[in-house]
């Protein structure tokens, strides 16, 4: 177990990220947390902002009661601000909001209102700071991710294949594509740390084919490397069949079904990891309470397939899977961006 104490090196890491966010002396910076947030990271954020001369203030809200039939993990859709109108007004007044809620505000319904005052939002994933220290973003990541965003936004079709049996086609026309390089330095923008990935939210009826999760691929909702293959059949965005023997397939079938919600079976987003510093094997190195798995979403060359809410297709649900898949070839209009799990360098 890692010790939960302040380390100077972790303050340094937070300072480097906030400096990339262009925090200025005297700038009003809100540190948003909830009662179940990782207090070590909240304290580190405060100390780092103080070192940069910012005027920091805390917004702390009580964590909400559980209202789902099963545990909810790493959705990026925190409900911590639901009904918290006064707290939202305080956040709107900040130049930078440091998001340290457990799930993060990335897909929260309240995010547009938080940003409406011109704030930028830096989501720090609920990781132990030892992982964050390893994954401080580098400036070169911005150009790499922006090149991938540009390529995905003009593509009509994504195809994903693998030797394990994946053959998936995604219609990218009218999809919403975004990327994260690990910091935000402009008003009304959002980033998360760790960063280094690009994702597309397809319009309704855009995803069809087969996705095979091979042994060694990752189910991040369960924070688990698969021990046996699981074959997902996807028709018009929805997982219609979950085939496989053993615990991994059984866990997925039960979790999907527990929601009693067809939208839990739908495609949320598709994309690929671009962070060469992120490590696939990192999930094996931390206790589950010490990792949120964002590093595994971002490791270079993985195909990230996610189920659940997709506001761009007008689908909402708390059921969610993030599934980083290795050894895939991803093509956009026939041109590879990932070849058998290895990134293809794109022109800036």
Considering the chain, what is the average pLDDT of its residues? 96
Q: What value does the mean pLDDT take over residues 335-345? A: 96
Q: What digits encode the pLDDT tens for the residues 285-334?
A: 999 999 999 999 999 999 999 999 898 898 988 899 999 999 999 999 99
Extended beta strands in 117-263, E state: 120-124, 157-162, 167-171, 176-180, 190-193, 197-201, 207-213, 218-219, 224-225, 230-235, 238-243
Q: Is pLDDT of 226 > 70? A: yes
Band of residue 77 on the pLDDT scale cut at 50, 70, 90: confident
**Domain annotation covers residue 107:** yes
Residues 152 and 240 in one domain: yes
Percent of the chain topping pLDDT 90:
90
Residues 152 and 207 in one domain: yes
Q: What value does the mean pLDDT take over residues 143-167? A: 97
Domain, as residue range, for 101 = 8-134
Q: What digits encode the pLDDT tens for the residues 168-190?
A: 999 999 999 999 999 999 999 99
Q: Is pLDDT of 105 > 90? A: yes
Task: Give the residue from 233, 229, 266, 265 showing the smallest Cα distance to 248.
Answer: 229
Task: Give the residue from 200, 197, 195, 160 showing the smallest Cα distance to 177.
Answer: 200
pLDDT at 346: 86
Residues 91 and 176 in one domain: no
Residues 120 and 145 in one domain: no
Spatial CB neighbours of 32, under 8 Å, sequence gap ≥ 6:
59, 61, 80, 87, 91, 97, 98, 99, 100, 101, 105
Nearest-angstrom CA–CA distance, 193 and 38: 15
Residues 16 and 84 in one domain: yes
pTM of the full structure: 0.94
pLDDT at 4: 87
């Amino acid at each position: 177990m890692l010790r939960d104490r302040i380390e100077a090196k972790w303050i340094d890491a937070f300072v480097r990220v906030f400096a990339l966010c262009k925090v200025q002396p005297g700038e009003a910076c809100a540190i948003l947390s909830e009662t179940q947030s990782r207090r070590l990271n909240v304290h580190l954020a405060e100390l780092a902002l103080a070192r940069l001369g910012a005027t920091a203030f805390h917004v702390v809200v009580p964590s909400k009661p559980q209202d789902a039939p099963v545990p909810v993990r790493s959705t990026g859709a925190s409900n911590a601000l639901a009904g918290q109108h006064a707290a939202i007004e305080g956040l709107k007044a900040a130049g930078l909001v440091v998001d340290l809620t457990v799930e993060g505000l990335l897909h929260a319904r309240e995010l547009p209102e938080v940003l409406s005052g011109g704030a930028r939002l830096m989501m720090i994933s609920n990781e132990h700071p030892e992982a964050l220290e390893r994954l401080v973003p580098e400036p070169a990541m911005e150009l790499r991710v922006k090149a991938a965003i540009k390529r995905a936004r003009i593509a009509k079709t994504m195809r994903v294949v693998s030797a394990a049996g994946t053959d998936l086609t995604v219609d990218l026309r009218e999809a919403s594509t975004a990327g994260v390089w690990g910091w935000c330095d402009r008003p009304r923008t959002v980033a998360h740390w760790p960063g280094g990935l690009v994702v597309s939210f397809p319009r309704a009826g855009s995803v069809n084919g087969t996705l095979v999760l091979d042994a060694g691929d990752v189910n991040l909702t369960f924070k688990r490397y698969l021990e046996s293959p699981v074959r997902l059949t996807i028709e018009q965005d929805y997982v219609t069949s979950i085939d496989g023997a053993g615990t991994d397939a059984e866990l997925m079938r039960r979790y999907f079904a527990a929601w009693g919600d067809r939208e839990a079976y739908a495609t949320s987003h598709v994309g690929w990891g671009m962070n060469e510093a992120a490590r696939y094997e990192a999930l094996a190195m931390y206790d589950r309470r010490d990792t949120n798995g964002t590093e595994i979403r971002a490791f270079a060359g993985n195909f990230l397939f996610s189920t659940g809410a997709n506001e761009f297709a007008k689908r909402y649900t708390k059921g969610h899977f993030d599934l980083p898949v290795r050894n895939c070839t991803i093509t956009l209009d026939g041109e590879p961006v990932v070849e058998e799990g290895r990134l293809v360098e794109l022109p800036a």
